[in-house]
Amino acid sequence: YASYTSSPDLKAFERRLTEYIACLQPATGRWRMILIVVSVCTATGAWNWLIDPETQKVSFFTSLWNHPFFTISCITLIGLFFAGIHKRVVAPSIIAARCRTVLAEYNMSCDDTGKLILKPRPHVQ
C-alpha cells in the first residue's frame, strides 16, 4: 500500500472521516440496544399470545386486545422500522460503503473505521 504522508489533504480527509464514523458509534449502539429490547419484547409477547388457548377461540382483534404487551411491543417495532431504525443501526457501515464507492475512482478505499487504504497504481503497458 502506498504512503500518503506527503499529502495533508488526504490526512485531513482521513481524520475527518474517522472522526465522523467514531461520532456515529454511540448513537448506533443505542439504536441497536433499543432494537434488541423491542424485538425481545415482541418475541416474548408473541410467544405468550400464541400459546394462549383463548387466542384460537376469539377473533383476531379480541386476541390482540387480550394481549396488550404483545400489541404495544409489535406496534412499537413496526413504528421503529417506519422511522428508519434499520438504517440507523448500520449507519457507520453505510457511510464507509459509500466512501469506498467514491474512493474507488481514485484507486483508494477505506476500512470500517474510516482509515484510508491507498492501493498500488495499476501498471499500464
> What are the extents of the domains in the chain?
8-118
Residue of 95, 111, 106 whose CA lies nearest to 7: 106
Q: What is the pLDDT of residue 4?
A: 55
**Single-letter amino acid, residue 99:** C
Each residue's pLDDT tens digit, 49-90: 999 999 889 999 999 999 999 999 999 999 999 999 999 999
pTM: 0.75
